[in-house]
Structure 1
């Protein structure tokens, strides 16, 4: 199987004025990022208008969601938003979907907070309906394209990854710090999750693109920098934090070597970072290209 080329994304919510947001989008494109990704949270701007605005300011940058909370959308309304956003971004849209996890956001949206299994069931229903509606564009809702844009499904649980392995174009592995038990080896957890996807995907595994969401890029792993990361995972030791696949620590050549190893070992080739790490990670991108 040929080696898949690297791709790099940066996740950032739209902020400030139209000009400020578009300047950030141009900066991401200029730094060598392939995809600008917008999260979906009630305390952040709406993803689809932000992506259309970013498309107006860029030329090659792809635009994605990382990730939409499927529970916030009815499939027909989501299909309409996807189709029109893909049209208005000249086909540069990538759609990331997740089952939703933040109970407080469900309460704020005046929605019930189902059990995890029900949320994954709803995600599966949403994906099936999107596939069906884009395959039959002559029925309401009227869609402008005949295929769903590239679909990223993210998760770490067995059922979410089973769905992603069978239905997604891109499988996303989110931040692992909160799901790493004390004493566990984070690298082994990632290996197990990738093996689960491989087993569930079967013959289509080679066609899947695997994405890792990077929580932190630490050029100099000082105690202060590690403390900031450990605030989200206080039960982990410093060694565990440094072994988290989502934490990239060290000088640029070492991080680049790590990404090569992740691609060779796990098949990960698509890496997304948070906006605060955009400039530091851009040096890694330049090194790899």
Structure 2
């Protein structure tokens, strides 16, 4: 199936950029202001040991900006007790004047050394995903039962994932389903094949979400962006998730964009119109390249 039905009211595009490191509070603030000036809608930070703690970082960046939202991409559910995480989420939402977007994940396989360093058990993948599901339910129950500090709105929940089980949890419980790559065959031989894989993935989300689908924001994590005349394509991230594909095959992936700013903008319009994908996240490495595309879509 090459295209999926679009039975949703057309959503506006939203663009997010992720920052993972800075040397000072001033540098974090400068990065935030740059992202806002470039037209991004959300600034995101990861959740890994050895990096700056996400919650105070987000508060500092929100204080330096006026419009842009701040969020996590993504918190590792296995690091937290739900009641303590709910306290932090509610606090950050209050301290950012309601600009916080709560990104949560199950914890990737490569995080095992971080669990060990934190003195935490590292469950199998199925267990980590079930823990994510339970954490979402417990936090929403706490927020619905007079949690302190109080929560005055439904804080939007983003769940990012790639495998079937994780994407199903996202489709069933999240407000934004962010596809962290799209599974493709090992012999992928064209961009059309990548687009077919994307359509199939969105159909999987639709089936898992059921009646919720019209209310979902569907997202795609962009692993590389090459605007002609700007830079050569950095394929290090897609290669990390698809180590068996050649460089030529990596360029066929739907999360790897290359071409003129105008042609990439047309691609994203097609993804929106055909597959209801309107949320796009990119790493800092590709921030200025994608900004050229954002200019075409505003």
TM range (shorter): over 0.9
SS of alignment partner, residue 34 of structure 2: helix
Who is 1:197 aligned against? Answer: 205
Who is 1:104 aligned against? Answer: 113
Q: Whole-Å Cα distance in 2 between the matches of residues 251 and 211 of structure 1? A: 22
Q: What is the CA-CA distance between 1:108 and the residue it aligns to?
A: 2.2
Residues 9-88 of structure 1: pairs in structure 2 closer than 5 A? 9-88=16-95
Q: Whole-Å Cα distance in 1 between the matches of residues 40 and 238 of structure 2? A: 27
Deviations 1:253-276 (A, max 9, x none): 111011011111211001111001
Count the aligned residue pairs.
284
Structure 2, unaligned stretches of length 5 or more?
A: 1-7
- TM-score, normalised via structure 2 length: 0.89
Cα contact 2:224–2:235 (8 A) shared by 1: no
Who is 1:183 aligned against? Answer: 187
SS of alignment partner, residue 243 of structure 1: coil
Q: What is the CA-CA distance between 1:188 and the residue it aligns to?
A: 3.1
Deviations 1:177-216 (A, max 9, x none): xx54421444333222211110121122011001111111
Moved more, 24-33 or 143-152: 143-152
Query: 1:190/1:105 Cα in 2 relative to 1: closer, same or farther (>3 Å)?
Result: farther
Q: What is the CA-CA distance between 1:220 and the residue it aligns to?
A: 3.6
Q: Whole-Å Cα distance in 1 between the matches of residues 199 and 169 of structure 2? A: 18
Residues 235-246 of structure 1: pairs in structure 2 closer than 5 A? 235-246=244-255
Cα contact 2:39–2:294 (8 A) shared by 1: yes
Q: What is the CA-CA distance between 1:228 and the residue it aligns to?
A: 4.4
> Among residues 269, 285, 290, which one is paired with 1:260 in the alignment?
269
Q: Whole-Å Cα distance in 1 between the matches of residues 174 and 291 of structure 2? A: 27
| Structure with higher RCO (Cα < 8 A, 6+ apart) | 2
- TM-score, normalised via structure 1 length: 0.92
Moved more, 144-153 or 247-256: 144-153
Deviations 1:206-258 (A, max 9, x none): 11001111111112499963664664334213342111111111110111011
Cα contact 2:167–2:205 (8 A) shared by 1: yes
Structure 1, unaligned stretches of length 5 or more?
A: none
SS of alignment partner, residue 280 of structure 2: strand
